[in-house]
C-alpha cells in the first residue's frame, strides 16, 4: 500500500476510532447507573457503524470501512450496558427508523447510484449526537457521560473530514461538520455545573411526574 497523505490520515482515523468509543464503554462499566446516557443514540451509532463499514467495502475505500468497523464493538457494548443500567429510553423509535432509512438508501444505489447513501451516511452521526445532546441537556445528572469520548469524537471528525477532502468523499465532509457541532454541544452541557443547570432546567416539584432522565438520588435531594 502506497504511504500517501490520505493513507496516513486514514490510518490515524482508524487508530482513533478504535479508542474514542472505549471511554463511554469503560465509564458505564464502572458505574451502576447510566443516567444521562441515551440508549437511542448508542443504538443509532451502532447501526451507523455497520452501515459505514458496508459503504466503505462497496466503495472499495478501506479507510472508510476500517475506522467504522473497529468502532462498532465498544459502541455496541456501551449500548448493552446503557440499556441494563437505566439509560434514557426515550426516542427508541429512532433506531428502527434509521435502520429502515439506511436499508432503503443502500438498495436505491442499485438504481440511482450512491448519492442517497452518501447523504444518509453523512448525516448519520446526527442520530448519535442529537439524542445524546438532548438527553444531556435535559438531565440534571450527567456523571455517566464520558467527556473524553466526545472530545475524541471531535478529533475523529477532523480526521474524517481531512480524509474526505483528500479522497473526495462527500459523506466524510458532512459527517465531520455534524459530529463536531453535536460534540461541542454535549461538552458544553458537561461543563455547566449541576446547580447552574438546575436553574436553567428546574427539577420537578415533589409529587409531580419525574423527569425520566433525572436520577432517584436527585429527586430524593429535592424532596
Burial 80-102 (b: 16+ CB within 10 A, else e): ebbbebbbbebbeebbeebbebb
Strand partners, 88: 38
Q: Give the global pTM.
A: 0.69
- Cell (9 digits) for 13: 482515523
Note the pLDDT of residue 143: 83
Q: What is the pLDDT of residue 141?
A: 82
Q: What's the confidence (pLDDT) of residue 97?
A: 92
Q: What are the mean pLDDT values of the chain's consecutive 10-residue runs (223 residues total)?
A: 76 82 86 85 90 88 90 93 90 90 84 81 84 86 85 90 89 92 93 81 55 35 25
At residue 179, the pLDDT reads 92
Sign of CA dihedral 20, 21, 24, 27: negative
What is the DSSP track for 151-163? HHHHHHHHHHHHH
**Cβ neighbourhood burial of 118 (10 Å; 0-12, 13-18, 19+):** buried
Determine the pLDDT at residue 153.
87
C-alpha 198/C-alpha 97 separation (Å) is 33
Amino acid at each position: 500500500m502506497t504511504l500517501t497523505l490520505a493513507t496516513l490520515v486514514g490510518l490515524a482515523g482508524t487508530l482513533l476510532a478504535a479508542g474514542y468509543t472505549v471511554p463511554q464503554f469503560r465509564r458505564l462499566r464502572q458505574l451502576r447507573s447510566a443516567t444521562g446516557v441515551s440508549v437511542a443514540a448508542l443504538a443509532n451509532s451502532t447501526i451507523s457503524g455497520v452501515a459505514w463499514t458496508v459503504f466503505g467495502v462497496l466503495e472499495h475505500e478501506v479507510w472508510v470501512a476500517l475506522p467504522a468497523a473497529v468502532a462498532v464493538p465498544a459502541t455496541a457494548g456501551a449500548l448493552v450496558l446503557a440499556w441494563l443500567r437505566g439509560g434514557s429510553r426515550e426516542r427508541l423509535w429512532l433506531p428502527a427508523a434509521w435502520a429502515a432509512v439506511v436499508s432503503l438508501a443502500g438498495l436505491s444505489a442499485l438504481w440511482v447510484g450512491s448519492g442517497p447513501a452518501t447523504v444518509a451516511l453523512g448525516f448519520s452521526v446526527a442520530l448519535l449526537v442529537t439524542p445524546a445532546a438532548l438527553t444531556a441537556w435535559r438531565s440534571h445528572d450527567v456523571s455517566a457521560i464520558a467527556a473524553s469520548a466526545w472530545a475524541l469524537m471531535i478529533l475523529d471528525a477532523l480526521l474524517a473530514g481531512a480524509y474526505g477532502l483528500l479522497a473526495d468523499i462527500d459523506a466524510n465532509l458532512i459527517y465531520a461538520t455534524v459530529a463536531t457541532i453535536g460534540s461541542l454541544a454535549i461538552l458544553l452541557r458537561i461543563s455547566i455545573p449541576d446547580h447552574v443547570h438546575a436553574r436553567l432546567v428546574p427539577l420537578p416539584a415533589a409529587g409531580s411526574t419525574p423527569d425520566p432522565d433525572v436520577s432517584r438520588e436527585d429527586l430524593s435531594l429535592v424532596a
